[in-house]
Structure 1
Amino acid sequence: MEPLSHLESFVQSAEAGSFSAGARRLGLTPAAVSKNVARLEASLGVRLFQRSTRRLTLTETGEGFLRQVSGGLALVQDALASVATVGGQPAGTLKVSMGQAFGRAYVVPLLGEFLARYPAIVPDWHFDNRQVDLIGEGFDAAIGGGIELAPGLVARELARVHVVAVASPGYMARRPMPAVPSDLAALDGIVRRSSPTGRLRNWTLVNAAGDEGEADLKPRIVFSDPEAIAQAVRMGLGVALLPMPFAGPGLASGEFVRVLPGWVADMGALSLYYPNKKLLPAKTRVFVDFVVERFRETGFAQRMKGG
């Protein structure tokens, strides 16, 4: 039987289209992956890849071998991961993706308790404001909003996130309080540029009566980072439309005041995503349960509502 590492190197390189991409998925060097595949070919006595300086393609034999082994390999990997323990405790490296500011503010503070409960798990957390390919990039889980629920993924909703208009008390002390969203045009707007699209974010606000209005902020400052926007609000530089994860702490401390109280925009669901597997690795299962439990205990979903 071929070593599992040789089969993994072959399958990941074949699916990714190169030794380098396969190596990134496996956390190895391209040289190590190439060597594993070469050893597999030598052991089988066949050539699985056609190699050139520009591309890596499967031979006809390689294509047939990939069809035969890929499904079975995934089952073996899932089975091994599901029982991976040290002293009866879930173990292994836990690769999770989350937004930079959100992860620092809401997930990292839970880390001490999580490690105390599961000391054999090693968090490998990636802080990046982009949508990752959980399965393709080898992530165990991701936390975020607006992530496409691709086949093979499960989403556990943590909260519906509202967007609210905020400013510093000092800034609003010198200005009349807006009554409807269109009144925001008279104020200095600190607006956000979407990193994926490059466009300025526009919001339609609604109130409890069902009235709607476009938040007509005139850009005075444009940032791509919500944490930077919150800092500019604290400095009294203008009014901003912020998701509650970033507006909530300032409102609780008194650094922010609500502009247009009662008016909100629904940003959508913030969810925890993970692969849908019959044999979910123990490390992933306990992480999902832990995050859902702690967010529920702290009333996170209620705190994300701005109404």
Structure 2
Amino acid sequence: MDQLAALRVFLKVAEKGSFSMAARSLNLSKSAVSKLISALEDHLGARLFYRTTRQVSLTEEGRAYVQRATRILEDLADADNAVSSLNAEPRGTLRISCALDFGLRHVAPALPEFLGQYPDLKIDVDFNDRFVDLVEEGYDLALRIGSLSDSSLIARKIAVARMVVAASPAYLARYGTPLSPADLADHDCLLYRGRNNSGEWAFTGPDGQSQSVRVSGPMRANNGDALKETARHGLGIVAIPDFLLGADLEQEGLVEILRDYQQALLPVQSIYPPNRHLSTKVRRFIDYLAQRFSTRPGWGNGTDHIVHKS
């Protein structure tokens, strides 16, 4: 028995609900279809279809086998396409949705080099903090910060960001420096809208124990640069990804606090729909960013790069 041929026939019968309709669709005889299904059932030792004179329907085993057979044939197609496209050059238009502050700092500077490598490719990028529907709006991929909430999409981590809790020297001189996360409850904190609307900041201490504190303050925004600028002017304490900070916090007008208490690392992820085959242009762009960010010190690999002056 040709098992791959049998799988294709099985899925077509399951789709059509009829041996004769499946045979016509596959340009086979009804007897050939029936023989392949019978051989497959004998091989599995299970009945896949209920057969009557009027209809064909899947058994419980058949319904379970549909999912596995579909995955097997999709994986085979992916393997074939991946090998055949290894040497293909990206072409057409690559549509990208990217978070505004991260995109302007780290993606925009990477685009000229990437475009220079592939002259037949065009890029259409939307720098915007809103969460887009990739399929509905026609994007090839999105670059997002943090955990993935839509489990129907595929994510690949291309970098890791560390959260830095900081304030201006003027603010700390006026109100004192928090020594533990619990102290933040008595301070003005600047909140990122969308990442944690509960107003609760969670930390892991030097002893490995987790603790959280509910914070509040004079400003909530969906843009890290706006929060950083507000903190720089002495109006509160900010928790901000290190990819928004330079290597020298003193030049930013900020001082890092609570260095012994770490917030969860933020994955920087490329998100794309679960197509059967990842296009060359998408794959090359994701590989390019992952390589670019992995060789950069600091936020790209989640290590501490900020200079602290005594």
Q: Tell me the TM-score normalised to structure 2 length.
A: 0.62
CA distance in 2, matches of 1:106, 1:261: 25
- CA shift for structure 1 position 107: 0.6
| Residue range with higher mean Cα deviation, 217-226 or 109-118 | 217-226
Secondary structure class of the residue paired with 1:203:
strand
Q: One-letter code of the match for 2:128?
A: D
Q: CA RMSD in A?
A: 3.3
Deviation of 1:109 (Å): 1.1
**Is the Cα contact below 8 Å between 1:165 and 1:240 reproduced in 2?**
yes
User: Which amino acid is 2:249 matched to?
Assistant: L
**Structure 1 residue 263: Cα displacement:** 1.2
How far has the Cα of 1:126 moved from its partner? 1.3
How far does residue 230 in structure 1 lie from its aligned partner after superposition? 0.7
> Aligned in 2, Cα 1:89/1:194: closer, same or farther, shift over 3 Å?
closer
Q: Which residue of 2 aligns with 1:180?
A: 180
User: Residue in 2 aligned with 1:211?
Assistant: 209
Q: Quick one: distance in 1 between partners of 2:233 and 2:247?
A: 15
The aligned counterpart of 1:146 is 147
Question: What's the offset of the Cα at 1:208?
Answer: 2.6
- Aligned residue number for residue 127 of structure 1: 127
- Write the letter of the residue equivalent to 1:282: T
| Alpha-carbon distance, 1:91 to partner | 1.3
SS state at 1:122 partner: strand
Question: What CA distance in whole angstroms lies between the structure 2 residues aligned with 1:126 and 1:245?
Answer: 19
Residue 171 (structure 1) aligned with residue 187 (structure 2): no
Please tell me the residue identity of whatever aligns with 1:257.
V
User: Structure 1 residue 116: deviation in Å?
Assistant: 1.4
Q: Give the SS at the match of 1:111.
A: helix
Structure 1's unaligned 5+ residue stretches are 1-74
Q: Secondary structure at the match of 2:183?
A: helix
TM-aligned CA deviation for residue 186 of structure 1: 3.1
Tell me the residue number matched to 2:302: 302
On the 8 A contact 1:166/1:247 being kept in 2, the answer is no
Q: Is the 8 A contact 1:161 1:266 kept in 2?
A: no
Q: CA 1:254–1:99 in structure 2 vs 1: closer, same or farther (change >3 Å)?
A: closer
Equivalenced residues, count: 225
- Unpaired runs of at least 5, structure 2: 1-76
**TM-score (norm: length of structure 1):** 0.63
* Distance change (3 Å), C-alpha of 1:112 and 1:252: farther
What is the rounded CA distance, in whole Å, between the counterparts of 2:147 and 2:169 in structure 1? 32
Q: Distance in 2 between matches of 1:254 and 1:210?
A: 30
1:172 is paired with a residue of what secondary structure?
A: helix
1:90 is matched with which residue? 90
Match of 2:287 in 1: 289
State the partner residue of 2:199.
201
Alignment match, 1:157:
157
Q: Is the 8 A contact 1:245 1:304 kept in 2?
A: no
Q: SS state of the match for residue 135, structure 1?
A: helix
SS of 2:162's equivalent in the other structure is strand
Partner residue, 1:265: 263
Paired with 1:127 and 1:119, the residues of 2 have a C-alpha distance of 22
1:248 Cα deviation from its structure 2 partner: 5.4
Q: Return the letter of the residue paired with 1:129.
A: D
Deviations 1:196-240 (A, max 9, x none): x9x453211112311333234331233332221011112222211
1:79-107 Cα deviation digits (max 9, x unpaired): 8xx97x9xx74211110111111111111
C-alpha distance in 1, partners of 2:251/2:186? Answer: 26
Indicate the structure (1 or 2) with the bigger Cα radius of gyration: 2
Q: What is the CA distance between 1:249 and its match in structure 2?
A: 5.5
Give the letter for the 1:242 counterpart: I
Q: CA deviation at 1:286?
A: 1.2
- Give the direction of change, closer, same or farther, for the CA distance of 1:156–1:165 in structure 2 (3 Å limit): same
User: Residues 224 and 133 of structure 1: is their aligned pair in 2 closer, same or farther, counting only changes over 3 Å?
Assistant: closer
